[in-house]
Amino acid sequence: MKFEQVHTQPDPYAPFLISQGIKANGMIFVSGQAAIGDDGQLVGVGDFDKQAEQAFQNLERVLKAAGSGLDRVVKVTIYLTSMSHFEKIVELRRKWWSQPYPADTLVEVSSLYSSDAMIEIDAIALAN
C-alpha cells in the first residue's frame, strides 16, 4: 500500500514528528487539530470559541492541502476537556458541515497536549 504525507505551510507539528495527515487508498487520515496558530502557539487561551474556530480552520487547511475538503469528511472525533461545550459543538457542526453530516464521536478528556488546550479534532475524509 502506497501512502503520502500531507504537508501544510507552516507545519507546526513537524517539530513533534507528527504528520498533519496521511493520504492512503483514496482516504485522508488527519491528525488531531488543536487551536495552534501559524506561529505554533495556542490561540485563545481560556476562550473555547476562539480555540474551536481555530481547530476547525486547521482541519480545513489540512484537508485542502491533501486536495480534499470538509465536505469529504466521513468520520470525525472531537475531544473536549469539558462536555459543557456540547451545545457549541452542535453550532459548529452546523457552520462547518451540511447534510449528510459526518459520523462523529465526541469525547471528554482530562487533558490534551497542553493544559490550556480545550479542543482537538481528528478526521477521516475521502480524497478527491
Among the listed residues 31, 104, 105, the one whose alpha carbon sits nearest the alpha carbon of residue 62: 31
d(CA 10, CA 5) in angstroms, rounded, equals 14
Dihedral of alpha carbons 80, 113, 76, 58, sign: positive
- Ordered per-residue pLDDT tens for the chain, 128 residues: 789 999 898 888 888 889 999 999 999 999 999 999 988 899 999 999 999 999 999 999 999 999 999 999 999 999 999 999 999 999 999 999 999 999 999 999 999 999 999 999 999 999 97
Q: Give Cβ neighbours of residue 91 (< 8 Å, ≥ 6 apart).
A: none
Torsion region of 65: left, alpha or beta (phi above 0 gives left; psi -120 to 50 gives alpha) = alpha
Question: What residues make up the domain containing 77?
Answer: 3-126
Report how many domains make up the chain.
Answer: 1
CATH of the domain at 14: 3.30.1330.40
